[in-house]
Structure 1
Amino acid sequence: MEDPKPESMRFWEQWEKEKAEMKANGKYVPRPFEDVELHCKYDHERFRFAQLPFRSQFWLSLRTFCKWGMIILLPLCFLIDSLFEMDSSEFNIRELTNNSITLLIIKILLPPWIISSIIVNYFPKVWFRPPKGPLWELNRVTGQVTIFNCARAKIQNKTADMVAPFHEFDAYIVTSPDRQGLPTNGLQLAHRYSNTTINLSALITPDNTTQRPCALWDFLQNFMDTQRPLPEIPMYEPYRNSDPTTFEHDKKNGRPARYWIDMDNDTFKAKVKEMLEKIDTIDTFARPNLMAKAVKYID
């Protein structure tokens, strides 16, 4: 819902105009890695997902972890050090330096934050590696789900792509503990006849409620249902005229072609809040289980 934001959409729209002008004038210089294939595709036909390899994810995760670790822990550690110092009978700078939790956190988190930030921002050739290929794809046009290089789909002892209709996949909420031992819920799609699964935890962070995994399942069903328009989110605005069902829906309801891109920040925040409220009241588990009439599940 929040990616891309309207202001980001306007920025890239302007960038494409400038890019076209520079190409026409012969002044365009390609950006680094501009032509690299990332294997992700989110349009009116395909929802194709790929991930960066571990090496690239490592540097991005290290930078994010150290940054937020500093932001969250430093004020808390400073408060603890201050309380200990207030209990001390006399001020001793050497003792404070040796026992300071704040300085310990800085020594642990600051160097890797600086190093990872420099590498990510200024040395892309060190950290960036494109994905070897996509992991899975939902195709709205064909109604098929593809799991690429699936270990269960072997041809002459080699992995192959597994292709099956979307209606053969069931959604499961998988509960697992976080680092504090608290339960978190993620969504998986399981192929009913082959035990093959798609883990969707990379799309949304596992949540302590079941609402967001259920909302993601609704989103995927709506995307694959060609009798419904594309989900009403900013990501699909450039493709709405290319999808026949969505085009007719928008024409019938008078939806502006630039509904999201021309939206101001305050209105967009209100729309995001409205969507979150809808997610909190989702009624997935109160709906009739139509599959129970035709399929018997055995755990």
Structure 2
Amino acid sequence: MGVTHYTEPTEPGRKFGRRIREQRLKLHIVVHIASRMATATKCPCLNVKGTMSISRVLLVILHDFPELLCEYHYVIIDTIPPNCVQLRNLVLSAYPRNMRLPDPFALNFKQVDSIPEMAIEPKSNLNMASIIPDSIRLPLDAYLRTRSAVDFLSALPGMLQISENPGSKYNSTVMNAMVLYVGMKAIESLHERRQRISIHTIAHTAFMDIFQNLAVQLCTEGRYLLFNAIANQLRYPNAHTHYFSCVFLFLFLNSDHDAIQEQITRILFERLVALRPHPWGLLITFIELIKNPVYNFWKYEFTRCAPEIERFTESILTKEE
């Protein structure tokens, strides 16, 4: 009977083995969190108890394994209902342990633009294209390439709709995936042209056409999902945070419909009034919106409709929130 000889793996082999084990562990944790999230938020009677349990788990991961939440934020966020704001904030507040966050209250947006990390795309192992149905992705890709099929823009809101029932009219998973996909393509295009991300360079492009068209054509429910999908990318300093922060600011500045400015404010506001932590990108976007006079934030009636809004924005500006 022959003897089986065991060969010690080389250093590259050991590193590859470790990476495989790490990825399997990460995926196991993410699947576990996502499945618990779906179960806990499905039944109203389990809502409070279930979400409190998940909050504790997420707090531990945020403290000990923040890179896990950074890398797989999309998978986890996609399972969290829009009303679970605190859970979303916990996931989106994660940032790499080797990063020191700049003080969002001490910066203006021009200084934010110059942060080196704001040009670097975050690590992700997800293929966003595979999440979007071909019936949407193929004409979407064609429009992003040529900017010629204008009829696609008018058809897109209907493509995202799955029923006529209020509260479940749209496929939120596809909406989330499409928003991130278009943003990633936009950043890729800017990098190819060696342009920096800014509110000026993102304007008048096929990518911004998608966001502007949806903001105008979608109903209130659809627009709420769209703006939530954009807000989900406002995280730690990286290219996605930079791009989608500029998208929000551009839409706010260039819309002729007050309903759009109001919903953008609502999305940011409801995340900021939740308990800490607050995502860094969320803070820098809101602070720019209320401090920079170019956005004329206080001219809108909805900013004066409740004293709580004024008090809260003042507390944000004085760091007393």
Pick the TM interval, shorter chain: under 0.3
Bigger Rg, structure 1 or 2 = 1
Identify, as 1 or 2, the structure richer in helix. 2
TM-score norm. by structure 2 comes to 0.23
